[in-house]
Amino acid sequence: MELYEYSASELSGMLSKREISSVELTKSVLKRADDTEPKIDAYLRIDPEMSLKMAENADKLIASGEASSRLAGIPVGIKDNISTRGIPTTCASKMLENYVPVFNATVVDKLVSAGCVISGKLNMDEFAMGSSTETSYFKTTKNPFDLSCVPGGSSGGSAAAVSSGSAVVALGSDTGGSIRQPASLCGIVGLKPTYGSVSRYGLVAFASSLDQIGPFGRTVRDVALLQDEIQGRDPMDATSAQRSYTSLFDSIDGNIKGLKIGIPKEYFGKGIKPEVAKSVTDSVERLKSLGAEVMPISLPSTDYALSAYYIIACAEASSNLARFDGVKYGYRAKDCDGLIDMYEKTRSEGFGREVKRRIMLGTFVLSSGYFDAYYKKAKLLQKRIQREFADAFGSVDVIITPTSPSEAFKIGDRISDPLSMYAADICTVTVNIAGLPAVSVPCGYSSEGLPYGMQIIGRKFDEKTVLNTALAHENAFGGFRRPEL
């Protein structure tokens, strides 16, 4: 096996025993990126010189015994809406094409302090708005299992890189499913942590009450390793939770005897491909055979969640993206006739079609005369959805659903049909609305060999139970299967 093919947990052990060096590992990952990027287009930028210098520093830390993290020396890909000092952070938008931050996001500072190696910045849907990575201004990322299909979005570059081996693990962001849905479509593991458990400082905001940074990996243990490194209180983020965090990697063993699993009927009906539903129910049976108890539950407001999500998310996006006006930084239109003309031309030329669509929708639902009719009702529905989850978790430990209603779809099939594209998030948006943790794990494959994903949802700050359930399934199902590129 090549070094890039090993899991992060395996590589961690090899590095700590000095069986390999971080430089050797990083060269293997960079070589893999050289081989796969012409096909996949997962990265927006790779700086081999920077990565190898970080790897050399990691090797010194490990050799001196000063490396305190299991991830020391491991290459990590970073989604391009997470701020990296001295490295362009574009959000895959013309608006920020030449923006180079002067500060790191808190999660990046944590990874650098741990001795991790940044393998590069990863492609995404523009400003994290999309479910296919087709709205990127720069390129369209392809699915490693079928290059004619999308990898999901908005963190499609992160998922495709981990799946193809051009990153060992990666960071993404999840506003309505943007970690879990691409993880499902690319056959890997993706965790959306509890809101507030990972600092959002340095994450370019889409919808601040819903956004959450989280990890991708090829195994559940890899995701636990990366989550251990990035979680924790941050005084730079007012929404960061003040609580103690224990190691997830050390606390999961795959023992689920007595675990109570809830199966909500609303997630297995209209809109869910029958083959996907069967794959998930078969996986639940595997968990049942390992000692888990399974019971039906109901989350009756699910049918309205997608509408509520897009109202709330677009309203917040309308406010957050108002800062991109051509005055302070970013793209500025030329040949303008006054300030207002400069605003209009800059935003018209700098933003892509999907971003402009969501800004207009958000501005509309916040406008006088429509605020009560749309935004206020969406926020009331959010409270109802939160109560329904809380009631359900009074009798079950985790809730299991499909992650995506179908396998990966063809590039170009939905880009001109926004409603069809939005429907890809039907299984995931409720988790963000409720602020809960959820993980997607591979659970089956279509007749064409495209992956299906199963979503495991837990109580707030109970990532341990979520990942432990995922580990039990991974052990029974067999885990990640590498695509043939």
Which positions are catalytic?
A: 79, 154, 178
Q: Residues 67, 74: contact at Cβ < 8 Å?
A: no
Give the length of the chain. Answer: 485
Helix (H, G, I), strand (E, B) or coil at 122: strand
Q: Residues 146, 207: contact at Cβ < 8 Å?
A: no
d(CA 155, CA 123): 7
Q: Residues 137, 349: contact at Cβ < 8 Å?
A: no
What is the secondary structure of 377-432 as a DSSP string?
HHHHHHHHHHHHHHHHTTT-SEEEEESSSSSPPBTTSSTT-HHHHHGGGTTTHHHH
From the list 145, 155, 136, the residue with the least C-alpha distance to 77 is 155
On the CB side of 98, how many CA atoms lie within 13 Å of its CA? 7
On the CB side of 290, how many CA atoms lie within 13 Å of its CA? 23
From the list 435, 430, 484, the residue with the least C-alpha distance to 463 is 435
Q: Residues 44, 80: contact at Cβ < 8 Å?
A: yes
Q: Which amino acid is at 128?
A: A
From the list 142, 228, 136, 226, the residue with the least C-alpha distance to 186 is 142
From the list 100, 118, 105, the residue with the least C-alpha distance to 54 is 118
Strand 75-79 to strand 169-174: parallel, antiparallel, or no bridges (unpaired)? parallel
Residue 476 exposed, middle or buried by CB count within 10 Å (0-12, 13-18, 19+): middle
d(CA 96, CA 19): 42
Q: Residues 218, 188: contact at Cβ < 8 Å?
A: yes
d(CA 21, CA 24): 5
Write out the E strands in 241-376: 260-264, 293-297
